[in-house]
Structure 1
Amino acid sequence: MLATRHISSLRNGFLNKQASLSSRCRFVRPPRVSAARYVLRGDRKRLICQSSATEGNSAEAEPGRLSCNHVMVTVFDVADHLAEGSMQALNTAADLASKDTSKVTVVVVGSKDGSNENGMSQRIAGINEFLINRGCSNFEVLEKLSSENHSALIGDVADDIDADMVVMSTYSVHEHSVDANLLAEFVPCPMLMLP
């Protein structure tokens, strides 16, 4: 008898606590997620990528696909020809640009000592030819010379040209041309690193 009275008082106490909690708690609806992605850099907030479904021609846009207005590709190759990873990065940027008619900026990073000046001009000519063959009409190729800290250079160029996305090969990280942790710190927009 005493045990049943104790159990019923525990059950009543639990039910009272549950009722008081439910009167204090309410369902909070999660905020609506916008299709636009913003990044806060310094004092300004700028749009980096916007879903193509929110644009005016939503009938032909694929839902959930991001579109970028300015894609930056970085190339760190030291040979006269482009490596497979750099070609893959250029190919991806050309595909993004052809679907969204966006601008592609290719940044070719070379050493400051000028030891491979002829190879640099061959790479730039190869990049121009490749992008023209892929149907990119709105592109530019920049040549940047640097002796060290290529990660900060990539971040500065991406900020200067107002890039929406940076595409690069992981080859540069494996060869220690750039530091992935510093890239995450300096680059103000999303990065796509291809193997």
Structure 2
Amino acid sequence: MNSAYTDNRIGISQTVSFPAVYKKQTAVLQNELSLARESTKFNLLEIRTAVKSLYFDYLAMGKRKELLLRADSLYRIFEAKTSKRFEVGAANILEQTAAQTQRQEINNQLKLLQKDMNISLNRFNFLLQDSTRYILHSDTIKYQSVRSNHLNLSSQAEALPAYKIAQLQTQTAHAQ
């Protein structure tokens, strides 16, 4: 009664629900546990997919870097020859400027590509959450497509973690 006067009444009450209520609460908790497990599987699948994607993106950027380096060497030769032609008087300033501009553009692309490669490598190492820093490389890039002769979309959809999560969320809502 929380007053300045002495309390002379004390009341204690306890409620006990029917056993069916406890069974329903158990079902809800079991569904929530299954939902948490499937969400964990889904998150692992997403991380695995992101790691693979970053790996192949990094390898593709490496191949692009090789192409840009080859183009840079070609434009370097072109620029040297154009400079010699300009000194002799066989070429005009426009030709020499075009060669320098093309080579500079290739250098700019190489710098941007190197920054993108560093960002991809940092993201890759961040996703792995390992104390060692990995540097990606591969001699050959192989991509094997998986083709199935039969398309049973309903059974494939039921195997997806997102589908299982949606089912478990529905079951949990019904149990609640």
TM-score computed with the length of structure 2 as normaliser: 0.24
Q: Which has the higher helix share?
A: 2
For the pair shown, the structure with the greater C-alpha radius of gyration is 2
Where is the strand percentage greater, Structure 1 or Structure 2?
Answer: 1
TM-score normalized by the length of structure 1? 0.22
